[in-house]
Amino acid sequence: MKQIPNIFTLLNLFFGCIAIVFALQNTIDIKFAEDGSQFVRLTEKIYYASLFIGIAAVIDFLDGFVARLLGASSEMGKQLDSLADVVSFGVAPSIILYQFLRMSFIRENDGLETSMLWLLPAFIFACAGAYRLARFNLDSEQSYGFKGVPIPAAGLVVASLPLIYWNVQTETVYNILMNKWFLYGIILLLSWLMVSKLPLMALKFKDFSVKNNLPKFILLGITVVAALLLKWLAVPVIFIAYIILSLLYKQK
């Protein structure tokens, strides 16, 4: 029974590895219009990387729940969880960022000649996530609150980019996602949020009273409304709301 939570954790790692496989499907289609303009897109297989990261996130939540339910929490489970998370929510999202940077540069003149050095900043994200996990493992004060953004939350924001790209059919969104400076900004911002010591709420309930959980209930309401109105664009909106609510209610 004590190994059941570890099996869930290994499933998290397993699906993270599958996400990496799909993120590495790096075929890029380049089509030219009659006026000479070009349209660049990644193959849809990277879309599945996002889905498997999402599955890993669900399992990551369940392994902690199962461990508490069975009274099977252990130091080994804690370390194993971090090892799985750095793959599923660090390495896999970094490869997605790498692919989006490739696609951004290929849209430019002589983009195929772009040095790989311009793409390597994508992996700053994975390094920041690993550092955040190591610090978390040494800190015993993050049960009902976090110092810095948890790596699963940051990883899910990155995982939403392909889903937004293929499902939000507006030119403005497309141009933003294909802007290399926007992508660099996302990498630096999310990396900083992970390694920072900003006081952020954990989505755990000591009880279900409104008084003690008001920001969580507000976030739940924002999540439902955003999901209905914005679909995949809701993910970054919910993430921003999470940061703002955490900071507004940090003294309460």
What pLDDT, on a 0 to 100 scale, did the predictor assign at position 109?
72
- Find the mean pLDDT for residues 59-81: 77
3 state DSSP class of 2: coil
Q: How many of the other CB atoms lie within 10 Å of CB of 69?
A: 11
In angstroms, rounded to a whole number, what is the distance separating the alpha carbons of residues 160 and 152?
12
Confidence of residue 252 (pLDDT cuts 50, 70, 90): very low
87-103 tens-digit pLDDT: 999 999 999 999 999 88
Q: How many residues belong to the chain?
A: 252
In angstroms, rounded to a whole number, what is the distance separating the alpha carbons of residues 53 and 51?
5
Counting residues of the chain whose pLDDT is more than 90, the rounded percentage is 50
- CA distances to 45, 145, 228, 247 from 222, rounded to whole Å, are 30, 20, 10, 16
- CA distances to 58, 81, 156, 200, 238 from 160, rounded to whole Å, are 15, 22, 6, 21, 12
- Contact status, residue 41 vs residue 100, Cβ threshold 8 Å: no
What pLDDT, on a 0 to 100 scale, did the predictor assign at position 215?
85
- Find the mean pLDDT for residues 63-77: 71
In angstroms, rounded to a whole number, what is the distance separating the alpha carbons of residues 4 and 205?
23
Helix or strand holding residue 214 (H, E) = helix 210-230
CA atoms within 13 A on the CB side of 67: 20
What pLDDT, on a 0 to 100 scale, did the predictor assign at position 114?
74
CA atoms within 13 A on the CB side of 233: 13
In angstroms, rounded to a whole number, what is the distance separating the alpha carbons of residues 91 and 211?
38
- Top pLDDT among 1 and 9 is at 9
CA atoms within 13 A on the CB side of 44: 2
134-169 tens-digit pLDDT: 998 887 666 667 888 999 999 999 999 999 988 887
Decide if pLDDT at 251 tops 70.
no
What pLDDT, on a 0 to 100 scale, did the predictor assign at position 141?
65
Cβ-proximal residues to 228 (8 Å cutoff; 6+ apart), any chain:
none
In angstroms, rounded to a whole number, what is the distance separating the alpha carbons of residues 165 and 188?
20
Tokens coding 58? 């669900």
Decide if pLDDT at 120 tops 70.
yes
192-226 tens-digit pLDDT: 999 998 989 887 766 666 677 788 889 999 999 99
Identity of the highest mean pLDDT range in 14-28, 53-67, 218-232: 218-232
28-49 tens-digit pLDDT: 666 666 666 656 666 567 889 9
